[in-house]
Structure 1
Amino acid sequence: MKHFYQSEVKPYLITKSLNPENQETPIHFLNGDLVDEKLFYRRNHFSYPNFSSSFYFLPIVGLVHTPRTFSIQDLYSLPSRSIKMVLECSGDKRGLFEPKLFGEQWEKGAISQGIWKGVSLRTLLEHTGLVNSAKEFVFEAYDYGERPDSDSIFNFSRSLPIEKALEPDTIIAYEYNNQPIPFKHGFPLRLIVPGWYGMASVKWLKKITVIDKEFNGPFQTIDYVYYPNKENDNGKFPVTTVHVNSTIQYPLNSQLLHKGTYMIKGIAWTGNGRISKVEISIDDGQTWETCQLASAANKYSWISWNYKWEAVKKGEYTIKSKATDSQGNVQPSEPFWNRKGYGYNAIEKINVKVE
C-alpha cells in the first residue's frame, strides 16, 4: 500500500493576506479529528483587538429581566458543555467557483475541527431571565475597523434568532482542545454555533444584547447573505447551516503517480444531521463506489473516509468524491452560484496521472 505523503517537516498555514490576517489550513496535511491551533485557519475582517480589563467580563443586556455581567470565573463555575465540531468559513472553496468571484480566494482549507468547551447560553439566561418579546440575540465582538463599502467604524457583530441561540449546544466557549482558546481564535470567550458556518461563531465576545427585532448590522444584512442574482438583490437569503461537503486529502491535485495500490483519503461533513455515505469515482463520475467510513458519524464533526484504488493502467484520471447526509442532502454536481461566493459544496474533484 502506497501512502501519498510522509515527512518530518511540519506544515504551515497558507497565507492569503496579512492585514487583516487570513490564512488557510493545508488540508492534505491534517491527520486525525482534532486540529492543532498552529494549523487552525485564520479568518479576520479587521486587525486583532487590544486587550483591556473589561475583556474578561461578559454583559448580557437588553430584553432580559435582570441584566448581568458574568466574569470568566463565573463561567468556569457553571455546568460546562463540550462539543467536537467542524468550524468552516462560509467562503471555504470560494476560489473554485467558475467564473471567479470577488472576495478572499479560499481554496479547500478554510475549515478546522476541535473540541470546544464552555457554558450553554441558555444556562446563562437562567440567571437573567428573558422578556417575552425577545426575538434575536446580538453578539458584539471586540475587533473593529472600516469596511471597504463604508468610512464608518464597525465592530464585528452578528445575531442569532432566539430558537438557535437557545439550543443547548450553542455555547459561550472558553477552551479549545482542553486549553484556553488561543488568542487568534477568540480568547478569552467565543460564541460557538454548531452546524452553522464560522461567521456565526463570533470571536472575542464583548457583549450580548437581546432585541425584539431583526438585527441589521452590515455583517448580517450585507455580508453573509446569499445573492443568487448577479445584477440585483432579488431572492437574497441569509447564510446559516453548513452544506454537506467532502474533500479529498490524498492524493493531491495534479499529482504524478506510479502504477500500484493507493489509499485515497478524505473527510466529509454536514451541518444538518450526520454523514451517512461517501462515494468515489475514478472515471470522472461515470461510475461510483462506496467508500469506507473511518468510524460512526457524529453530529457536528467531520468523518474520515478512504478507498483502496488499484492503479493498474497508465493515464490521466479524474477522481471525484460525493457525500450524503442523514437528511438526504447530497453534494450537487454544480455549486449554488451566488454573488459573494458562499457555501461552495459541489462534488469534489481532482486530477492525477499514472505513469
Structure 2
Amino acid sequence: MAQREIEGDWVFGGPDRKRADIMPSKNADGRVIFARSPVLDLEGMLTPVDAYYVIAQLQMPDPIHPDDYTFSIGGEVENPTEYVLEDLRKFPTRTVRVVTECAGNDGEFFSYLREGSNMKKPSLRVQQNEEGGWNQMSEDGEMPDIDEILEAIPTICLVCGGEWIGVPLREVLNRAGVKDSAVAIRVQGWDTGRPDPVTQYLSVDRTDFEVVDPGIINYDKGLAIEKAMHPDTILAWAHNGEYLTHVHGAPLRMVVPGWAGNWWVKWIEKIEVMDHMPDC
C-alpha cells in the first residue's frame, strides 16, 4: 500500500502547504456518513482518497474482508454465477480516470436568489459540523421547510477526480452469457435502510408533498444494457493506486463514467440482468 506523503497535517516536502481537510458529518456511532471535498484547496486531476467526498443514501454495511466477499450475477443470463474477489482479478483489468459528481452537487447554489428565500449565499469554505446536518434533519420530528434543509445540508463540493482499477462489467456479463431479451441491469448494494425523505425534498427543491415510505430496502440502481456494456463501465476494487476503502465501496463498486454518482453503486451484492428497465 502506498505511503501517504504527509507529515501530520502538512504535505511532505512542502512546509508552507497545509493538508486539505475534508468536511465530515457523522452518525451517532461516530461513523462518517457524509463529507464534502475541499475542492478549492486541491490541485491536479486526482483527488486524494482521504479528501474524496462521501455520501451514503442508506446505512453503510459493516466492512467485509476481501477474502470473505462474494457477489452474484443472475437474471437474463445463460450461466448465473457467484464470484469471489480473486475470481474477478483474473479477468482483463482496465484503468479509468474520471470525474465523480453527486447528482445533487451545487443543487442549492442559486436557491438563495429565489424570491422570499431566507438563505445565505452558499460558501465553499464553510466547515460543516460533524454532528447534525444530514442525519439530524432526518431525525428531527417536525417537517422542515426547504430553506432549512438547504442550510443544514450543504450540496456543494460533492465532486472529485479519481483513477479506478477493475474489470469491465461487459467481460463479466459476456462470461455469464447475456440473453437477447436483456435490456437493462439492476445493481444492488449491501447497504440497507429507509430512504431519507430529505434527499427527495432536495431533488425537487420543495417539501409540500408526501414521500411514500417503502420500508427497509437495499440500495439499487438500474442501468441500460448499452451503458453496462461500455468498456469504461467497470467493477472497481482499487482507487488511486490502492485497494478501495470501506467508505468508498470496498470491496467492490460500480464506476460509471459520465453518469452521476448515484449510479456508482457501492458494496455490490448482486447484479441482475433484466428484460425491462427497473424503476430504480
Same fold by TM-score greater than 0.5? yes
1:79 to 92, 115, 120: 92
Partners in 1 of 2:64 and 2:247 — Cα distance? Answer: 16
Indicate the residue corresponding to 2:270 in structure 1: 207
Shift of 1:143: 0.5
Shift of 1:18: 3.9
Indicate the residue corresponding to 2:249 in structure 1: 186
Indicate the residue corresponding to 1:343 in structure 2: none
Partners in 2 of 1:160 and 1:188 — Cα distance? Answer: 21
Partners in 2 of 1:15 and 1:173 — Cα distance? Answer: 24
Indicate the residue corresponding to 1:110 in structure 2: 158
Indicate the residue corresponding to 1:45 in structure 2: 57
Indicate the residue corresponding to 2:20 in structure 1: 11
Indicate the residue corresponding to 1:337 in structure 2: none
Q: Is the 8 A contact 1:95 1:105 kept in 2?
A: no
Shift of 1:159: 0.8
Relative to its length, the structure with more strand (as a share) is 1
Give the residue type in structure 2 aligned to 1:59: S
Give the residue type in structure 2 aligned to 1:74: D
CA deviations on 1:55-75 (whole Å, 9 max, x unpaired) are: 611210000001011211111
Q: Is the 8 A contact 2:64 2:251 kept in 1?
A: no
Indicate the residue corresponding to 2:227 in structure 1: 164
CA deviations on 1:62-112 (whole Å, 9 max, x unpaired) are: 000010112111111110000000000011112313237556743431011
Give the residue type in structure 2 aligned to 1:31: E
Indicate the residue corresponding to 2:103 in structure 1: 90
* Counterparts in 2 of 1:106 and 1:94: CA distance versus 1, 3 Å: farther
Shift of 1:9: 3.0
Shift of 1:127: 1.4
2:83 to 33, 54, 70: 70
CA deviations on 1:334-354 (whole Å, 9 max, x unpaired) are: xxxxxxxxxxxxxxxxxxxxx
2:35 to 16, 23, 43: 23
Shift of 1:163: 0.8
Matches within 5 A, 1:279-318: none
Shift of 1:124: 0.7
Shift of 1:51: 3.7
* Counterparts in 2 of 1:7 and 1:96: CA distance versus 1, 3 Å: farther
SS of residue in 2 equivalent to 1:127: helix
Partners in 1 of 2:179 and 2:91 — Cα distance? Answer: 22
Question: 1:176 aligned to 2:224?
Answer: no
Q: Percent identity?
A: 30
* Counterparts in 2 of 1:151 and 1:59: CA distance versus 1, 3 Å: closer
Partners in 1 of 2:266 and 2:51 — Cα distance? Answer: 18
Normalized against structure 2, the TM-score is what? Answer: 0.70
Shift of 1:210: 0.7
Indicate the residue corresponding to 1:195 in structure 2: 258
Q: Is the 8 A contact 2:20 2:42 kept in 1?
A: no
Q: Is the 8 A contact 1:94 1:105 kept in 2?
A: no
Partners in 2 of 1:52 and 1:198 — Cα distance? Answer: 22
Give the residue type in structure 2 aligned to 1:30: L
Give the residue type in structure 2 aligned to 1:40: Y
Larger RCO (CA under 8 A, 6+ residues apart): 2
CA deviations on 1:15-35 (whole Å, 9 max, x unpaired) are: 356467111011111111111
Unaligned runs of 5+ in 1: 1-5, 221-355
Indicate the residue corresponding to 2:174 in structure 1: 126
Q: Is the 8 A contact 2:105 2:157 kept in 1?
A: yes
Superposition RMSD on alpha carbons, in Å?
2.1
Give the residue type in structure 2 aligned to 1:34: L
Normalized against structure 1, the TM-score is what? Answer: 0.56
Partners in 1 of 2:246 and 2:156 — Cα distance? Answer: 24
CA deviations on 1:142-190 (whole Å, 9 max, x unpaired) are: 0010123416001110010111111111110110011111110000100
Partners in 2 of 1:52 and 1:15 — Cα distance? Answer: 23
CA deviations on 1:276-313 (whole Å, 9 max, x unpaired) are: xxxxxxxxxxxxxxxxxxxxxxxxxxxxxxxxxxxxxx
| Count of paired positions | 212
* Structure number with larger C-alpha Rg: 1
Partners in 1 of 2:106 and 2:50 — Cα distance? Answer: 21
Partners in 2 of 1:211 and 1:64 — Cα distance? Answer: 9
Question: 1:33 aligned to 2:96?
Answer: no
Shift of 1:7: 4.5
Unaligned runs of 5+ in 2: 1-14, 118-145, 198-210
Give the residue type in structure 2 aligned to 1:46: L
Shift of 1:11: 2.4
Relative to its length, the structure with more helix (as a share) is 2
Partners in 1 of 2:194 and 2:36 — Cα distance? Answer: 23
